[in-house]
Amino acid sequence: MKTIHDFSRKKMAHEKITMITCYDYTSAKILEQTHIDCVLVGDTVAMLMHGYPNTTHATVAMMSFHTKAVARGLNNKFIIADLPFMSYRQSQKDTMHAVQTLMQAGASAVKLEGAEGNLNTIQYIVESGIPVMGHMGLTPQHIHGLGGLKLQGKNDYAKKQLLQQAKQLQQAGCFAIVLECVPTELAKNISENLTIPTIGIGAGPHTDGQVLVFQDLLGLQTQFKPKFLKQYLKGEELFVASINDYVKTCVGLQTYRWTRIEHRQHNADAVADKEQRCQKPCPNSSSQHQYNGNQRILHK
């Protein structure tokens, strides 16, 4: 996928959209070789690459830095970059500066969380020629307001509200929407009532696409295990085992090296001792005989 038109084309053709997060050049080079449709430089980078407890610690500078790295590793993937916490909730000038920074870093589109208070902002960004992906349901940047990372849309009122907000995001100009941690039937209902595609994470199988975090998919972190997560590789275990194998190899080489050094030193000492002994005069040497012969000749 290279343009936003590929998203609508896939929805019309009932083809699932696949998206994965990425934060660095090396991972991007790997993803370039895969069939993944699009890549999200998500604000989860603050947690997975910088060790912060949540995504509110991501900044425009951080997102730009990682977007540049990912863009250098990808040539044929559509890149979406997250607008970080509060970067689009201040002035229009600040918002557009953040958008410009991420787009010039290599993004093909930006993503922001929530509908309330953002519709005019989305419309303005889209009218400026920048594709916008929406994000609703569980919005991690609102973790403190939500009281934690919890399933959203559990009661009838919340379900109606989320459906309405999804339609508002579509009306404002979003080309796609991420649905995070909402009930399966709600995600299905929203997907069926929109002309733009939905991309789910923890939202069941009926969305128009799916997104997973790179480290979660490959099992590179095991501390956070949501119920919906399927790990396709036990990456952390493999990494640990491989590094330990390397350590064992190095220790083995060191032992072998020192054994060889001791062996060579032993041989060198033996040779030196032999040479030293050979340098001493030998009573039966030919030179001694010659000397004695000369003495005998002189006495004659």
Could you list the active site residues? 180
**Helix ranges restricted to H, 60-203:** 60-73, 92-105, 119-127, 143-146, 156-172, 184-192
> Which residues lie closer than 8 Å to 138 by C-beta, 6 or more apart?
146, 149, 150, 151, 152, 180, 181, 182, 202
Contact yes or no for 85/56 (Cβ under 8 A): yes
Other CB atoms within 10 A of residue 240 CB: 11
Q: What's the token pair of residue 61?
A: 């500078």
C-beta pairs of 183-190 under 8 Å, 24+ apart in sequence: 183/151, 183/153, 183/154, 183/159, 186/153, 186/159, 186/162, 189/159, 189/163, 190/162, 190/163, 190/166
CA distance 27 to 214: 9
Q: How far apart are CA 141 and CA 125, in angstroms?
A: 20
- Rounded to whole angstroms, the Cα distance separating 180 from 92 reads 27
| DSSP reduced 3-state for 100 | helix
What are the tokens at 7? Answer: 């998203």
CA dihedral 140, 142, 145, 151 (to 10 degrees): -40
DSSP summary character for residue 281: P
